[in-house]
Chain A
């Protein structure tokens, strides 16, 4: 049994180690060490919790057994999961944190004595409020992440689901949550507590269904943030510093990522949350446009253009992930490099379905990270490059964002692909991207459309080289 003060100090150490874990991610070299600090912090937190309770009876054995069951499931998932499935994995993990927060809150509500929170039916007011917040945010995180998971997994359509009165309904429910918390605090009724949790599950679902597939980077970051706030809420209930610190770190981390993603699309956080963007009505409008001439070519033309280039910039997008083309792409780049051509990769902040999605896929295909550049770092280089190879990206290359104030994507920072001497655009058809906007780049003089599957085309180019 260790003293409460010593326990608090150990939790503080865990908290500091978690900060160092995030700090390590400032560069790939220090990141592995950072991850080690994170594991150490977790180990300390768990071990001192055992020591503080000092209950090494039969229950303890069960705790270890359950921990190992969960741990082996987690380890198995971590080793088996393909890198392309990372967005849905992260969404799935968020849902688990949310549900765990709900369970801990329920347990504390049913047995407050175990946590020194007063007696059942007479829980301290502050603890009850903290518990309700933790449970409500946890429940929203859980159901919201499940919906995000289903959308990313493709089980549910990525199209936004909207219905009249949606926003009013959400508003009413949110107000009812606040009301419920108030009455819960005055009556201590367990029925109200269960209702609060059920309604919060409903909010999570309603919050995420109107948000479309390509807005998922914002949604995932937002749910990341929520899972942190839920943990912090529980941390206040349990008076646990490690949880409070971690909750605050994760909460602000997710919030910053959401902000970066919104900025990458030049949309306000609010408009993403209200949802409905990328609906089918916008697509049908652009289909009525008159047919403009498009130049299209095959892999031989592409290989010819690249052979005569001295520098090539690759612009990957979500389509590359879908086609699993990252390995073929790296092989193509190897061939180019053997021919003395300079190759770099340009990544838009919202390329893919989660922050940093493209970087992980390229890393998986053994692309060195110092060949991969962010938008601001590389955007000026397009003017001096001979060939831009757009593979699976669309809206983020559309010059309309700079020229047409009427366009829904106007003002979005885009990669200046059109400035390259030639643009090779791999795409299956001329269909517009997620925003439902026709891409002006298709009809440019210097653009050659390569109509094919991204992986197939890339492999064919290697063969034609």
Chain B
């Protein structure tokens, strides 16, 4: 019998939690705010779902009942992606070492 693809996804999920656990513990506390803004930006990869939803309409009816929600989600996720990465970039640019 073949393994249900769900089990594969679950394995990826569980292993990623562990990867996240170890990676985040090694983040230096002084960068915890950029950590939050960058995790914010990457969790907006949910935009791929929004794109699929938005493109599911046909040309006669681009904004149908379900694709409208896709388009709205695209706006929200895009605000987050651009805002999140740029504000992280802005913060990280401020962290400087002592001039020797």
Q: Do A and B come from one complex?
A: yes
Q: Which residues of A contact B (CB under 8 A)?
A: 11, 14-15, 18-19, 21-23, 25-28, 31-32, 34-35, 38-39, 41-42, 45-46, 49-50, 53, 55, 57-60, 62-63, 66-75, 77-79, 81, 83, 86, 89-90, 93-94, 96-97, 99-101, 103-104, 106-108, 110-111, 113-115, 126, 220-221, 224, 227-228, 231-232, 234-254, 256-257, 260, 347, 349, 354-357, 359-360, 363-364, 366, 368-372, 374
CB atoms of A77 and B98 under 8 A apart: no
Which of A25, A60, A372 is within 8 Å of B27, CB to CB?
A: A25
Contacts of A74 in B (CB 8 A): 78-84, 86
CB atoms of A26 and B85 under 8 A apart: no
Contacts of A22 in B (CB 8 A): 20, 23-24, 27, 35, 38-39
A44 nearest CB neighbor, chain B only: B45
Please name the 8 residue pairs, one residue from A and one from B, whose CB atoms are nearest each other, closest first.
A70-B78, A356-B32, A74-B83, A114-B56, A74-B82, A248-B16, A111-B66, A355-B32
Q: Given A78-B82, A115-B52: A246 and B36 within 8 A (CB)? A: no
CB atoms of A90 and B62 under 8 A apart: no
Q: Which of B74-94 contact A (CB under 8 A)?
A: 74-94
Q: Given A248-B13, A252-B17, A252-B21: A100 and B34 within 8 A (CB)? A: no
Which of A63, A71, A356 is within 8 Å of B33, CB to CB?
A: A356
Contacts of A244 in B (CB 8 A): 9, 12-13, 16
Q: Which of B37-84 contact A (CB under 8 A)?
A: 37-59, 62, 64-67, 69-84
Cα distance A357–B32 when bound, in Å?
A: 8
CB atoms of A23 and B66 under 8 A apart: no
CB atoms of A97 and B9 under 8 A apart: no
CB atoms of A23 and B26 under 8 A apart: yes
CB atoms of A90 and B53 under 8 A apart: no
Which of A27, A53, A257 is within 8 Å of B55, CB to CB?
A: A53
CB atoms of A104 and B31 under 8 A apart: no
Cα distance A21–B43 when bound, in Å?
A: 12
Q: Given A108-B53, A249-B23, A356-B33: A363 and B91 within 8 A (CB)? A: yes
CB atoms of B94 and A364 under 8 A apart: yes
Least distance between A109 CB and chain B CB atoms (Å): 8
What are 5 inter-chain pairs, A to B, with CB distance below 8 A?
A39-B85, A59-B62, A63-B54, A96-B80, A107-B70
Q: Given A19-B23, A22-B23: A93 and B34 within 8 A (CB)? A: no
CB atoms of A241 and B12 under 8 A apart: yes
Which of A28, A58, A77 is within 8 Å of B83, CB to CB?
A: A77
* 15 additional A-B residue pairs with CB within 8 Å, beyond A15-B16, A111-B56, A363-B94: A28-B97, A55-B55, A77-B83, A78-B82, A101-B46, A108-B49, A111-B65, A114-B56, A236-B6, A245-B12, A252-B18, A359-B33, A360-B33, A360-B94, A363-B30
B19 nearest CB neighbor, chain A only: A19
Cα distance A242–B42 when bound, in Å?
A: 10
Contacts of B55 in A (CB 8 A): 53, 55, 59-60, 63
Least distance between A258 CB and chain B CB atoms (Å): 11
Cα distance A11–B49 when bound, in Å?
A: 12
Q: Given A69-B75, A70-B78: A97 and B98 within 8 A (CB)? A: no
Cα distance A62–B28 when bound, in Å?
A: 41
Which of B14, B25, B73, B83 is within 8 Å of A256, CB to CB?
A: B25
CB atoms of B16 and A245 under 8 A apart: yes
CB atoms of B26 and A26 under 8 A apart: yes
CB atoms of B16 and A227 under 8 A apart: no
CB atoms of B20 and A251 under 8 A apart: yes
CB atoms of A58 and B23 under 8 A apart: no
Contacts of A366 in B (CB 8 A): 94, 96
CB atoms of A59 and B67 under 8 A apart: yes
CB atoms of A240 and B97 under 8 A apart: no
Cα distance A260–B90 when bound, in Å?
A: 25
CB atoms of B76 and A70 under 8 A apart: yes
Contacts of A32 in B (CB 8 A): 89, 92-93
Contacts of B21 in A (CB 8 A): 252, 256
Q: Given A25-B35, A368-B96: A114 and B52 within 8 A (CB)? A: yes
CB atoms of B80 and A18 under 8 A apart: no
Q: Given A104-B50, A111-B67: A28 and B28 within 8 A (CB)? A: yes
A238 nearest CB neighbor, chain B only: B49
B14 nearest CB neighbor, chain A only: A248
Cα distance A254–B32 when bound, in Å?
A: 10
Q: Given A35-B92, A252-B17, A368-B97: A66 and B75 within 8 A (CB)? A: yes
Cα distance A268–B99 when bound, in Å?
A: 41
CB atoms of B45 and A243 under 8 A apart: yes
Least distance between B98 CB and chain A CB atoms (Å): 4
Cα distance A63–B73 when bound, in Å?
A: 11
